[in-house]
Chain A
Amino acid sequence: MTRNSLQAYFDPFKEISIAPLIVFRIIFGALMFFGIARFMYHGWVEQLYIEPTFFFTYLGFDWVKPLEGNAMYIPFVLMLTAALGIMLGAFYRYSASVFFLCFTYIELLDKSNYLNHYYFVSLISFLLIWLPANRRFSVDIHLFPTIARQTMFQWQSGIIKFQLAVVYIFAGIAKVNWDWLMDAQPLKIWLQAHHNLPIVGGLLQEEWVAYLFSWTGCFYDLFIVFFLLSNRFRPFAYFFVIFFHLVTWYLFPIGVFPWVMIFSTLIFFSISFHERILYWLERGKRRSTIDAPLVQPRKFVRTFLLVYVMIQLLVPLRSIMYRGDLFWNEEGFRFSWRVMLMHKEGHATFYLYDPKTNRELEIDNSDFLSPTQEDQMATQPDMIIQYANHLKEHYDGRVLEFGDYKFPIFNPEIHAEIYVSLNGRPSQLFVSKRIDLTSQPYNLCHREWLEPFKQ
């Protein structure tokens, strides 16, 4: 490429056909509608947001609270409507805003439900608010014909490509670690469990297959975006996208997200590809001849893009500022595209300790947490602190009565003995019982109270 063509390639304000963005909007809206409907159908609203009595909030977002009882369905119904609105391009900016706000609200309620893909959906729906994805083949152009447009600025689809590239490449970088490449873990554990599958089941027991999957997965994540960007390799690369995500869909319980990735990556396809889809959808009907002028405060947009890109590049890298083993300590682990990366299982026994009487009480976690919450908490240090603080709050000032005895509890300590097994290693002590967890800070600093990881 010459310098000029390179400049054009990356020029955010180059004018191109709006078709890819329109197709993306339709697909994203449809998938979200399906995903939310599926979520409700499975009873997860009840299970994850109505039944629990305690929620693991995010640091700085502790004010985000669930709605009372069945009112919790309101944001989900709103999201269904908004997803339809996005798909049809109806009151598009409102739809996209409502979807983003509701979805992010739900995700902020409880980090035990954190998934990288939910974070991805939050980001994409945020971006969609600012993109002109309703300017063609939409309800809006029927209602407001003057907004119709045939072109957009290149950044308006480029930012979505960038976001997808971030997801894949950081997922790939995360896989460059000893366990993944040298021990083929956790894939060895996950694949052996599938021996019962027809035809491939026996093959999945083979050690070399776990290595092949690990290495291929790593290469796939690292390089697939570059192949998708290349005109020459795109069809071939897309075949791999489909293959890769179907395999993960088949082997692992990852719900709707293989489909999100399979369809989202269509945005890498050529303009003419998207034009053909739209032409087919419009059934050759004469397009609007109106072409709203393409003007934008370029300086503002450039700043916005720069800030967004910097955040997306820096946030996944923040883990390098922490000491100790990343998988063990999980400091800077979330929001970093570490997808299906480790197999961590823990068992946590919590104790209420009353310093006044020198007595202790073993806590039944199921009295306070749902099975999912307990499972997630047992291996994630920030959640361990949150739970300990919740327990202290629950017992502090309470009078416990056992038989004829009464114990006024004041300022109790909360201790925990936690064992964790990481990527198939024998379990080892994660949190020692001598630590009073309520005396430990809940912040983003390195957590000194965790037992060090022994290989």
Chain B
Amino acid sequence: MTFLKRFPIFILLATVTMASSCKDPHQVTPFDKESLLLNFSDNLIQPALASFQSSVNQLNADYLSFQANPTSQNLETVRTSWKNAYLAWETVKCFDFGPIKTSGFKAATGTYPTDTAKIESNIAAGTYTLASASNIDAIGLHALDFFFYRENALSYFTGNAGYSNYAAAVIAKVKSETDAVVVAWAAYAPTFKASTGTETTSGFSELVNEFNRDYETAKNAKLGVPIGRQSLGIQMPEYIEVRNSGFSLQLLHQNMKILQLYYNGNASASGNTGVGFDDYLIHLERESLHTTINANFDEILAKIESFSGTLEEEMATNPQGLDELYNLIQSQVISLKTDMTSSFGVLITYQDNDGD
């Protein structure tokens, strides 16, 4: 019974120790998730959205002058500004939560493969509602790959007003979606910055989960599916992103580069000060995991840079090299999704639950 008698004293002592330690000068500095969210919101997400917005505006302006004066030189200008917009899109698509998710921005601007038959029939019909769900694969930046890079692209614009109006409508839709998201993010930013919890709906959880999801989407959609990983090894060139213009490997490179930058909390390779997932891992004494993740990213990027042809050309001539690239990307999933995410104590599921 002595233990029973002393139990309250033990608890009292424990409480006192707990309370008094608040004044302990040798406290561990807690990792500040709020500064991470602040960095993402102010230095990464909003600038990325703003630069995407300006690249879309540029595309829109260039297209309008091209439409007024459809020369091959003006077409080249539009092609360049379209590529820039597409590369900028790769910097915002991994933030598919908050207003970007609720507005359906990603699907409306970046769905592929494009249903070119649907586009043709829309143009032939003369009337179409680009906002309708059935047209989701007949709009967006990816649809423009077909318009700007199909064979004899210029002749379609000069010969058919319905055709050039459709492309104009597609660009206008991308622009209006983008403008809406930029405004919505500015309004959402304070909520996001304060949302540091571990519940599935917190800003931090969404950031981590969407980061992982974007990585896996890149792995599957940008590479795995075309090279035949989901089709018993039969290559599926019709699933290559921006197949006509042939710059899908650059897009994959951009996607991986951006995810590495974001992992490190930086907007560009030169700045190394942003608070990112790397700082959190280091705080949790997982330096070796941190080193592995960055080394993996470097290796993936170097591998992509080693290809000289387009993805379609490499599929024909160098399938083994692409397999090696795929395996590199695959092995990184485990470091990110299993090791990094579990050390953060973030729930990986997208559903709330009754707990255990």
**A binding-site residues for B, Cβ under 8 Å:** 35, 39, 42, 44, 47-48, 113, 115-118, 189-190, 192-196, 201-207, 209, 212, 216, 227, 230, 233, 236, 240, 252-257, 339-340, 343, 345-347, 349, 352, 354, 357, 359-364, 370-372, 375, 400, 402-403, 405, 407, 419-421, 424, 426-427
Residues of B near A372 (CB, < 8 A) are 349, 351, 353
In the complex, are the beta carbons of B354 and A421 less than 8 A apart?
Answer: no
A347 to B219, CA, bound (A): 15
Q: A193-B345, A419-B334, A427-B334 are in contact. Are A205 and B30 (CB under 8 A)?
A: yes
Q: A189-B342, A193-B345, A253-B355 are in contact. Are A361 and B334 (CB under 8 A)?
A: no
In the complex, are the beta carbons of B342 and A424 less than 8 A apart?
Answer: yes
A236 to B6, CA, bound (A): 13
B198 contacts the other chain (CB 8 A): yes
B196, B220, B228, B353: residue with the most chain A Cβ atoms closer than 10 Å: B353
A155 to B198, CA, bound (A): 43
Residues of A near B31 (CB, < 8 A) are 192, 195, 205
Residues of A near B196 (CB, < 8 A) are 195-196
CB distance from A260 to the nearest CB of B (A): 11
In the complex, are the beta carbons of B355 and A257 less than 8 A apart?
Answer: yes
Residues of B near A116 (CB, < 8 A) are 356
In the complex, are the beta carbons of B354 and A117 less than 8 A apart?
Answer: yes
Residue interface bits B323-356, CB-to-A below 8 A is 1, else 0: 0000000100111011101111111111111111
Contact partner of A255 (CB less than 8 A), chosen from B197, B330, B348, B353, is B353
Q: What are the 9 closest A-B residue pairs judged by CB atoms, nearest first?
A: A254-B355, A193-B345, A345-B342, A255-B354, A195-B30, A196-B196, A402-B231, A402-B234, A205-B30
A206, A349, A362, A375: residue with the most chain B Cβ atoms closer than 10 Å: A362
B21 contacts the other chain (CB 8 A): yes
In the complex, are the beta carbons of B232 and A357 less than 8 A apart?
Answer: yes
Residues of A near B350 (CB, < 8 A) are 371
The secondary-structure label for the interface of chain A is mixed
- Sampled A-B contacts (27; CB under 8 Å): A113-B353, A117-B354, A118-B354, A193-B198, A194-B197, A194-B198, A196-B33, A202-B30, A205-B29, A227-B7, A230-B4, A240-B11, A253-B199, A339-B356, A340-B355, A343-B345, A347-B333, A347-B338, A361-B229, A363-B230, A371-B351, A372-B353, A403-B231, A419-B334, A420-B338, A421-B338, A421-B342
CB distance from A86 to the nearest CB of B (A): 19
CB distance from B17 to the nearest CB of A (A): 8
CB distance from A414 to the nearest CB of B (A): 14
In the complex, are the beta carbons of A375 and B199 less than 8 A apart?
Answer: no
CB distance from A398 to the nearest CB of B (A): 12
Residues of A near B345 (CB, < 8 A) are 189-190, 192-193, 343
Contact partner of B14 (CB less than 8 A), chosen from A189, A212, A345, A419, is A212
Docked complex: B1-54 residues within 8 A CB-CB of A: 4, 7-8, 11, 14, 18, 21-22, 27-34
The secondary-structure label for the interface of chain B is loop
Name the CB-closest residue of A to B289.
A426
A236, A349, A419: residue with the most chain B Cβ atoms closer than 10 Å: A419
A424 to B348, CA, bound (A): 15
CB distance from B179 to the nearest CB of A (A): 31
B224 contacts the other chain (CB 8 A): yes
Q: A212-B18, A403-B236 are in contact. Are A419 and B30 (CB under 8 A)?
A: no
CB distance from A419 to the nearest CB of B (A): 5
A343 to B345, CA, bound (A): 8
A340 to B356, CA, bound (A): 6
B183 contacts the other chain (CB 8 A): no
A196, A339, A343: residue with the most chain B Cβ atoms closer than 10 Å: A196
In the complex, are the beta carbons of A375 and B349 less than 8 A apart?
Answer: yes
Residue interface bits B110-149, CB-to-A below 8 A is 1, else 0: 0000000000000000000000000000000000000000
In the complex, are the beta carbons of B27 and A233 less than 8 A apart?
Answer: no
B104 contacts the other chain (CB 8 A): no
Q: A39-B354, A255-B354, A402-B234 are in contact. Are A345 and B18 (CB under 8 A)?
A: no
Residue interface bits B225-248, CB-to-A below 8 A is 1, else 0: 000111111111010000000000
Contact partner of B339 (CB less than 8 A), chosen from A35, A44, A255, A421, is A421
CB distance from B106 to the nearest CB of A (A): 16
In the complex, are the beta carbons of B33 and A252 less than 8 A apart?
Answer: no
Residues of B near A357 (CB, < 8 A) are 232
Residues of A near B200 (CB, < 8 A) are 253
In the complex, are the beta carbons of B231 and A117 less than 8 A apart?
Answer: no
B284 contacts the other chain (CB 8 A): yes
Residues of A near B7 (CB, < 8 A) are 227, 233
Name the CB-closest residue of B to A359.
B232
A176 to B104, CA, bound (A): 49
A421 to B348, CA, bound (A): 13
In the complex, are the beta carbons of A203 and B341 less than 8 A apart?
Answer: no
Contact partner of B355 (CB less than 8 A), chosen from A255, A347, A370, is A255
A47 to B4, CA, bound (A): 48
Residues of A near B233 (CB, < 8 A) are 359-361
A42 to B199, CA, bound (A): 15
CB distance from B86 to the nearest CB of A (A): 25
Contact partner of A371 (CB less than 8 A), chosen from B8, B28, B229, B349, is B349
Q: A116-B356, A253-B199 are in contact. Are A360 and B334 (CB under 8 A)?
A: no
In the complex, are the beta carbons of B27 and A206 less than 8 A apart?
Answer: yes
CB distance from B285 to the nearest CB of A (A): 10
Residues of B near A230 (CB, < 8 A) are 4
In the complex, are the beta carbons of B352 and A202 less than 8 A apart?
Answer: no
Residue interface bits B312-327, CB-to-A below 8 A is 1, else 0: 0000000000000000
A118, A192, A254, A419: residue with the most chain B Cβ atoms closer than 10 Å: A192
In the complex, are the beta carbons of A349 and B22 less than 8 A apart?
Answer: no
Contact partner of B33 (CB less than 8 A), chosen from A195, A202, A400, A402, is A195
